Amino acid sequence: MSDTVRGGIPKSETAKEYLTSIHEKFKESDKAEIGNLMNELMTKKYNGMGCVREHILELLDVGAKLNALDVPMSDAFLVHVALNSLPNEYSQLEHI
């Protein structure tokens, strides 16, 4: 463990207390990660560069990461977000 990480964990008398402190630190890290992923999911827009398929797969990957962090994302919600991230020229996809 690096000195930087070790310095962020309070000193403990027992190994159990130390591991609990580490666990709490990672909970804070998970909250930050969830916030970053939610922001990415809701603000990511297709810019016309690359293929639409790749863009949608990136959004689905963000959804999978959120699911892994116990933030459930339904398929219907992810489809809605993906469609809204596309420009108007892809509006015909909403009617399929």
Nearest to 40 by CA among 81, 95, 89: 81
> pLDDT tier at 2 (50, 70, 90 boundaries)?
low
Residue with tokens 């219907």: 76
Task: Specify if 4 maps to a domain.
Answer: no
Task: Specify if 87 maps to a domain.
Answer: yes
Task: Specify if 25 maps to a domain.
Answer: yes
Q: What is the pLDDT of residues 58-88, one digit of tens each?
A: 999 999 999 999 999 999 999 999 999 999 8
Q: What sign results for the dihedral spanned by CA atoms 33, 37, 38, 44?
A: positive
> pLDDT tier at 93 (50, 70, 90 boundaries)?
confident
**Containing structural domain, residue 72:** 11-95
| Choice between 3 and 74, residue whose per-residue pLDDT is larger | 74
Give the contacts of 59 (CB within 8 A, at least 6 positions apart): 41, 44, 78, 81, 82, 85
Work out how many domains the chain is built from and give that number: 1
Q: What is the pLDDT of residues 21-50, one digit of tens each?
A: 777 777 667 888 999 999 999 999 999 889
Task: Specify if 6 maps to a domain.
Answer: no
| Cα distance between residue 42 and residue 58, in whole Å | 12
